[in-house]
Amino acid sequence: MVRQGGRGGRSVTRRDVAERAGVSAAVVSYTLNGGAPVAPETAQRVLKAVAELGYRPNQAARALRSGSTRTLAFLTLDADDAIFTNPIFAEYVHAVQRAAAERGYALYTASTPGGGRARTMQELREFASRQVDGVVLLASSEQQLDPAELDAVGVPWVLVNTEESPGGGNSIGADLFGGATVAMGHLFEHGYSSIGFVGDAPRSEPRRRAWREVCAEHGVEASPLFDVDFTREGGREAALELADLSSPPRAVFVVSDRTALGVLRGLHECGVRVPEDVAVISFDGSWESAYAWPGLTSVRQPIEAMAAAAVDRLISPPEEASHQVFPVELIVRESCGAHA
């Protein structure tokens, strides 16, 4: 018969340890949490008893008492499967998980499968009732959040993968505009003078803005624009359209690796060579970009640093909420045709 869980009154409690060590229950707590000085010899006995009994403090009780569960949550606000379908998102969860673990926090993960804002708030309240110490929200372009409404739940939160929100609040994002500018500059530098844009981005979106402005600086028209889904299939469709054009652009800038993978696939299908016929440059720098064929030149987002910053913000909230921008880095591979 297998013992079923630490529950059911079977498990070792602080009382058992106290008895075995011949001290009061309080001393066990002191020894373990350093709430008060304990004689070295006493501590020794307590620790021995803890080890012998295999005692682990009941975290539910600790949480009830202290108000903190030493737990964070990660909430994906995107379409249901984005979190495992978009490698950069998967990397984000993992990085947050690691950052949390390093600081002694456990991590809940959840997603709101297309439920919109109401669903997000519901999930946030669920985590609040689970007494989490903070929530990392992975932004989606579709879902507009209201900082005030978020604050009202009473759980510290930070929004990642986002631009600065006019509503304020704590948020973290990569330097999209800067990265796209560098990428576009790289393309022009290497002699491409007709550059298309692939992605699901509104006119004002930083990457799209950078595309337009850098084109303007070089006196060429920013065109064509492929406004497609932020998925592999979206990228593939853009490629098919492109291949059908009478005078296709000589290069394309794609908003994300996930979409770019679809572009690559679509171009292959049509027999369009990369980079000989069309050069491709992309954004994210996920591992996927490294093993694509040809290797995808991409603007790398510093996921680890951003994840760590997000966790730190939750654990020690800054005086004032703000948006934090992280620098990006162009990783040159084969798809842009400029590889050494």
Partner DNA sequence: ATGAAAGCGCTAACAT
Partner DNA sequence: ATGTTAGCGCTTTCAT
Please give the angle made by the CA atoms of 229, 74 and 155, to the nearest 5 degrees: 120
**Residues in contact with 41: Cβ distance below 8 Å, sequence separation at least 6, in sequence order:** none
In terms of CB distance, is 182 or 303 closer to its own copies? 303
Which of its own copies, DNA, none binds 293 (CB below 5-8 Å, type-dependent)?
its own copies
Smallest separation, CB 6 to its own copies (Å): 5
State both tokens at 276: 């000989």
Q: Are strands 251-254 and 195-198 parallel, antiparallel or unpaired?
A: parallel
Least Å distance between CB 26 and DNA?
A: 3
Q: Nearest-5° angle of CA 7, CA 102, CA 44?
A: 60
Partner that binds at residue 151, options its own copies, DNA, none, CB closer than 5 to 8 Å by kind = its own copies
Residue 167 binding: pick among its own copies, DNA, none (C-beta 5-8 Å cut-off by kind): none
| Shortest Å distance, C-beta 33 to DNA | 5
Q: Which is nearer to its own copies, 205 or 257 (CB)?
A: 257
The one of DNA, its own copies, none whose footprint includes residue 90, by CB under 5 to 8 A per kind, is its own copies
Of its own copies, DNA, none, which one does residue 42 interact with (CB within 5 to 8 Å by kind)?
DNA
- Closest approach, Cβ 153 to DNA, in A, equals 15
DSSP string covering 210-267: HHHHHHHHTT-----EE---SSHHHHHHHHHHHHH-SS--SEEEES-HHHHHHHHHHH
Residue 334 CB, shortest distance to DNA, in Å, is 55
Q: What is the DSSP letter of 129?
A: H
Largest Cα–Cα distance in the chain? Answer: 87
Q: How far, CA to CA in Å, does 297 sit from each of 184, 264, 287, 306?
A: 12, 12, 12, 21
Cβ-based nearer residue to DNA, 27 or 83: 27
Which is nearer to DNA, 42 or 324 (by Cβ)?
42
Query: Which of residues 157 and 197 has its CB atom nearest to its own copies in the complex?
Result: 157
Inter-axis angle of helices 257-269 and 232-244, nearest 10: 40
CA separation for the pair 27, 165 (Å, rounded):
49
Query: Which residues contact DNA (rule: CB under 7 A)?
Result: 9, 11, 13-15, 22-27, 29-30, 32-33, 35-39, 41-43, 55, 57-58, 61-62, 64-66
Give 143's DSSP letter: P
The rounded distance, in Å, linking the Cα atoms of 156 and 335 is 42
Residues 229, 200: contact at Cβ < 8 Å?
yes
| Least distance from DNA to the Cβ atom of residue 19, Å | 11
| Residue 23 contact partner, candidates its own copies, DNA, none, CB within 5 to 8 A by sort of partner | DNA
| Closer residue to its own copies, CB minimum distance, 206 or 285 | 285
Selection from DNA, its own copies, none that 27 binds (CB < 5 to 8 A by kind) is: DNA
Cβ proximity to DNA: between 32 and 243 the closer is: 32
Query: Smallest distance, Å, CB 237 to DNA?
Result: 50
Give residues with Cβ within 8 angstroms of 219, minimum separation 6: none
